[in-house]
Chains A and B, each alone.
Chain A
């Protein structure tokens, strides 16, 4: 006796969160069944392994059918085939677009191309995340990138509107898209200590302050065709950063800069005293990095340079190292003190 066909279709589509997680994590049906058995579900419910197998298959099939819709989440809301309560729909989308920290660190700043996709098996081996899951995450990044790439307006808003993600997740995707677009190098060993969160923070500040959208906050001419307002760095701004050299060259300006920065940051920074003590070195390093940002290559190496060529990295114990927040603040400070 073999089961040829075994299905269960509810008027309201049944979604089992645990099975969904296993599916997203890329486990095969048999692995998922084994994992479920290990979770003790059989003892709790008195079910048999066959029942579990059939249940898992059903859910996997449902998810497989839903996947097409999840690629364009607004479709999931309007489709008629699966009757799913809105709260469940939100959960499906959010989980589908969620990603692993380990994975995103591997691809952050890389071109979302076929070439990168080929490397996914290596990433899978390295991170222990199943290849299937890696592919889903990679495809998600790429899909979001493709959709918002050509769009005007706020990156976060665009992502939210087209993928119905939570604010938090939409911001993360904005960072991923921003990094992918500018191809910032994040994979170097020296940068390994930085988390995705650190980069995302930087990305947010850079989007707010360094991009065309940021510069043209109130665009004088709304029709002026500037695509990718939030994605591309403002070339003019980068050009202008060269002018910052005065902050290092001129002692008075250096002092003035220092006092202004210190006033702004006093009490807001855990490593304030170290920062204050090292301000001159810090400032010189940052200004040197900033001044070079006119070349694409240097833009890509921004984070490497920040770590290598500024005292952010070199001296002292790592614990005080001003990780992303300070880098961010410095970058922001750079903009604020730009001679106008």
Chain B
């Protein structure tokens, strides 16, 4: 009996009229938790009832406390007929279960009905008394904190980052139960909402248990998703990163909010100013998965990296047959932890040593429902699923969705290894379901991490020592982690422009946020690749085959587009890359979004060269040269627009003889039988420094055109899909989070790929244009964390959902700071160079053989030797075999000049400069007339982990809400647009109300994970499901904080901070 839940119903307001005769309502409230229900008195004839009830007390297990939502139903009393429901409120009481978070939930909640939307509000007070329970075998995990934020939350310090946690639960979808035929839509919707609420509670509890097992106390980067599989059920799955967090005691060490947690981290004795060892290099466009790679043994032979709770650091070279392992993994939670994955996208300084590149894996599955006792569904039903793999019919073994994911994760892990990396950061998983076909995708960034954060105290291995060596920050992560001689794919390596010691790739793709210490030149921008492919309508296996055949082409084209657009922007790195492949009845859509930046450490990107196939045709030539000119102009314009002007360092300084990496790159051809073959790059095209586009057919022409049709945002606007915009650091406090949804209907007549692409492209571009127009009053501003989601609800419908936040910034201050910045940088640069020269070359790549990581070559070999294994043993996912080949041919097109010019090392000391202008900006803002005197407190919402110009003082708990809205009077509600507009506004309102009731004033890391919209205009009906999550927080404006905080706390941070930081 470890908990007592107390609920008080205070009052209602703005209730709907339920009695036509009197124009009033006789309302009462049912409060339900688990199987216990209490009722208030009926408050007669009022639209603003004052129940002022007694405290309803529920005595419950903490397990139930975690799983169950508190259910409050408002009804209209009717003497003669059944009472009419007005609406419901579900309250997740999880935030009350751990100390430090909210202590009471109290406030006005919108009363929500799935048919009518919000119908008035109800004032509720909820408290929980938890009794200490030392039962070791308990099933609850009260006390484990959950954060959606994908970085270490602002007022905490990471003691240990344990690693990956995942879990999934399945159940039958109430919408597809037989009973659904006889119950009302309302009852069905409510059953669904309640079930999902229960399932997320259960999931969270289970994840919490895993975290406790790992001796962690928190989950960061918690991402929970629903797969609505229709007939085959409902899957709720979640991933996250288990951590041990310490609350920072000093409240005054407040930092410019737009920084990652780095500053807090400085207080940690463990952490030094970033220092990493340099190893070799890598460039990666994306390293994509293939089925057969799975068979490779997966040894974690990384002695320096120990994941707490993992047992030994090495799982041995001989992993045994894949399937056996797979089963082991699904069974044993311990083994699960062998996935060295991190859902974080921003890290404490020093955590990230090297970044390899993006790794991704996809697999196509057929959904089917078969009994499997492995899962026990909630609500007493035993439900389970077999995954019937379409290409292994003879497989009798029941597999589970767990196994599907384990398989994909395994792939990801092996890809990371091929890149010489032992970990994957910025990891995420997603699905796309259409009828019975499901595409599972996972992606992340292969990386080498500093083990200090992963284990407490003990320091092992020689890597550690090397890490201690002081190397310039801001470029370390760019250095290739793999062996130069055995590169997993062809890449052009050059010496780092920053430190000149290590090799860097020509282009770097990652899924993480830009590291705070990274040296960036100019500003960043949102880069998107958009692609559609028609496919034939087909059933089951045929459909899955068609999809899996299309996938590699799509990936390839998406990457080509990204690369072209990146070059066009004169940038050399992508951050926050997210590639979404959506499957529909008759088409596949690919949408990749990322933020392009110019990393100072990486070489200057070459231009784009257009080569025609028929050089003799005069007019054609002319056309080509015209195009070329246009492209060159665009690049020049973009350079100006994004202020990319890397400091040219005169040739004399280049003195030191750095050998140009001449060796031929080795291609990764894991699929081809002769995978060890070395492909020489075809350098026969004229310009070696350029990215060559061959225009040999109309398709390519289209591509070039589409390159040029992307319109840059209007002046004063910037956009990115990462947390912060590189190059802007003086945010003012005005923020506007928004969601925009568009659905277009394609004309069904002779659709071609081109037409489809154009439609899709226009859709996205127009959407962006609309956003710029709507937010024009905020100029100068930046759209941050722009998150596009594509879905294909019906045959000819494309739905694009965008959530982002617009943040204003101060242009003038930007100029000032960059100036002072530049001066400091100059000084800094010179000293850096001096320092650097004192370092012998011992840290360079020649020291690599001694490195504990298995050289990538081994992997290649093992991969190739394994590629001949029988098909039955092969991974059950789709075969990508042809992809690598295509990839290689594509890579052949990429040529970059070896950049031997030494560039000045520019270190962005953002930390020092950022602080003061921020403060001023706020102060000025605050002097504006205050406009928050409303009776309803303002709750800010943002997809970012911070609030500009403010400090988050408290995390109140996770917000994870699921709503269904249905209508049978679509026209009357303003059509589909009116319906969805109202629904999204209501969802925002309910999120705000919950946050306010927890005592918070903002939601950070807000994300709309799902927005499933279905319509049937003929029947005048529509239904929509929305799932949102985020972290409820309390923030204090920095300007206010300055007044409040006395000098005393400032002293506490002094020892660890540099003088500049203390001034804030």
- Chain A residues within 8 Å of B, Cβ to Cβ: 1-14, 45-48, 50-52, 54-55, 57-58, 61-62, 64-65, 75, 77-83, 85-87, 89
- Asked if B740 contacts A83 (CB within 8 A), the reply is no
| Partner pick for B737 among A11, A57, A81, CB 8 A cutoff | A11
- Asked if B773 contacts A47 (CB within 8 A), the reply is yes
Query: Closest 10 interchain pairs by CB?
Result: A5-B743, A10-B738, A4-B743, A11-B737, A9-B984, A7-B981, A11-B941, A8-B740, A80-B989, A85-B931
Q: Smallest distance from the beta carbon of B297 to chain A beta carbons, Å?
A: 50
- Asked if A46 contacts B121 (CB within 8 A), the reply is no
The residue of chain B having its C-beta at the shortest distance from the C-beta of A80 within the complex is: B989
B762: A residues at CB distance < 8 A: 1
- Asked if B980 contacts A78 (CB within 8 A), the reply is no
> From residue 726 to 752 of chain B, which have CB atoms closer than 8 A to chain A?
736-747
| Partner pick for B740 among A9, A50, A64, CB 8 A cutoff | A9
| Partner pick for A54 among B739, B770, B978, CB 8 A cutoff | B770
Tell me whether B759 is interfacial, beta carbon within 8 Å: yes
Q: Say whether, besides A1-B744, A46-B714, A61-B977, A8 and B738 are in contact (CB < 8 Å).
A: yes
Docked complex Cα distance between A255 and B264 (Å): 90
| Partner pick for B745 among A1, A8, A77, CB 8 A cutoff | A1
Tell me whether B577 is interfacial, beta carbon within 8 Å: no
A58: B residues at CB distance < 8 A: 774, 981
Tell me whether B935 is interfacial, beta carbon within 8 Å: yes
Binary CB contact string for chain B from 986 to 1002 against chain A (1 if under 8 A, 0 otherwise): 10110011000000000
- Asked if B108 contacts A9 (CB within 8 A), the reply is no
B740: A residues at CB distance < 8 A: 7-9
- Asked if B769 contacts A51 (CB within 8 A), the reply is yes
B738: A residues at CB distance < 8 A: 8-11
Q: Smallest distance from the beta carbon of A67 to chain B beta carbons, Å?
A: 12
- Asked if B978 contacts A1 (CB within 8 A), the reply is no
Docked complex Cα distance between A151 and B110 (Å): 31
- Asked if A6 contacts B977 (CB within 8 A), the reply is yes
Q: Say whether, besides A5-B741, A47-B769, A83 and B938 are in contact (CB < 8 Å).
A: yes
A13: B residues at CB distance < 8 A: 985
Q: Smallest distance from the beta carbon of B982 to chain A beta carbons, Å?
A: 6
Docked complex Cα distance between A81 and B762 (Å): 32
- Asked if B989 contacts A78 (CB within 8 A), the reply is no
Most central of A50, A62, A86, A89 by chain B CB within 10 Å: A86
12 other A-B residue contacts (CB within 8 Å) besides A5-B977, A61-B981 = A1-B747, A1-B762, A4-B743, A5-B976, A6-B770, A8-B774, A11-B737, A55-B773, A64-B974, A81-B986, A86-B932, A87-B929
Tell me whether B939 is interfacial, beta carbon within 8 Å: yes
The residue of chain B having its C-beta at the shortest distance from the C-beta of A41 within the complex is: B773
Q: Smallest distance from the beta carbon of A70 to chain B beta carbons, Å?
A: 14
Docked complex Cα distance between A299 and B690 (Å): 92
- Asked if B774 contacts A3 (CB within 8 A), the reply is no
Docked complex Cα distance between A85 and B737 (Å): 15
Q: Say whether, besides A1-B747, A51-B773, A83 and B939 are in contact (CB < 8 Å).
A: yes
Q: A-B contact count, CB below 8 Å?
A: 144
Tell me whether B797 is interfacial, beta carbon within 8 Å: yes
| Partner pick for A11 among B797, B935, B940, CB 8 A cutoff | B940
Question: What are some 25 contacts across the A-B interface (CB < 8 A)?
Answer: A1-B762, A3-B743, A3-B745, A5-B742, A5-B977, A6-B741, A8-B738, A9-B981, A10-B738, A48-B769, A51-B766, A51-B769, A51-B773, A52-B773, A61-B977, A61-B981, A65-B978, A65-B982, A78-B121, A80-B993, A81-B110, A83-B938, A85-B932, A86-B931, A87-B931
Q: Smallest distance from the beta carbon of A332 to chain B beta carbons, Å?
A: 39
- Asked if B769 contacts A86 (CB within 8 A), the reply is no
Docked complex Cα distance between A54 and B108 (Å): 34
- Asked if B747 contacts A55 (CB within 8 A), the reply is no
> From residue 987 to 1043 of chain B, which have CB atoms closer than 8 A to chain A?
988-989, 992-993, 1013
The residue of chain A having its C-beta at the shortest distance from the C-beta of B766 within the complex is: A50
Q: Say whether, besides A57-B977, A65-B982, A80-B118, A3 and B742 are in contact (CB < 8 Å).
A: yes
A54: B residues at CB distance < 8 A: 766, 770
> From residue 1 to 26 of chain B, which have CB atoms closer than 8 A to chain A?
13-14
A65: B residues at CB distance < 8 A: 978, 981-982, 985
- Asked if A2 contacts B744 (CB within 8 A), the reply is yes
Tell me whether B650 is interfacial, beta carbon within 8 Å: no
Docked complex Cα distance between A57 and B980 (Å): 14
B108: A residues at CB distance < 8 A: 80
- Asked if A3 contacts B744 (CB within 8 A), the reply is yes
Docked complex Cα distance between A47 and B118 (Å): 35
The residue of chain A having its C-beta at the shortest distance from the C-beta of B110 within the complex is: A80
Q: Say whether, besides A45-B714, A89-B934, A80 and B992 are in contact (CB < 8 Å).
A: yes
Q: Say whether, besides A9-B985, A10-B736, A45-B714, A4 and B745 are in contact (CB < 8 Å).
A: yes
B984: A residues at CB distance < 8 A: 7, 9
The residue of chain A having its C-beta at the shortest distance from the C-beta of B746 within the complex is: A1
- Asked if A78 contacts B773 (CB within 8 A), the reply is no
The residue of chain B having its C-beta at the shortest distance from the C-beta of A65 within the complex is: B982
The residue of chain A having its C-beta at the shortest distance from the C-beta of B980 within the complex is: A7
Binary CB contact string for chain B from 768 to 788 against chain A (1 if under 8 A, 0 otherwise): 011111101000000000000
- Asked if A81 contacts B985 (CB within 8 A), the reply is yes
Q: Smallest distance from the beta carbon of B840 to chain A beta carbons, Å?
A: 55
Docked complex Cα distance between A2 and B743 (Å): 9
A61: B residues at CB distance < 8 A: 974, 977-978, 981
A75: B residues at CB distance < 8 A: 14
| Partner pick for B14 among A6, A48, A79, A86, CB 8 A cutoff | A79
Q: Smallest distance from the beta carbon of B315 to chain A beta carbons, Å?
A: 47
- Asked if B742 contacts A81 (CB within 8 A), the reply is no
Tell me whether B933 is interfacial, beta carbon within 8 Å: yes
A79: B residues at CB distance < 8 A: 14, 936
B121: A residues at CB distance < 8 A: 78, 80
B993: A residues at CB distance < 8 A: 80
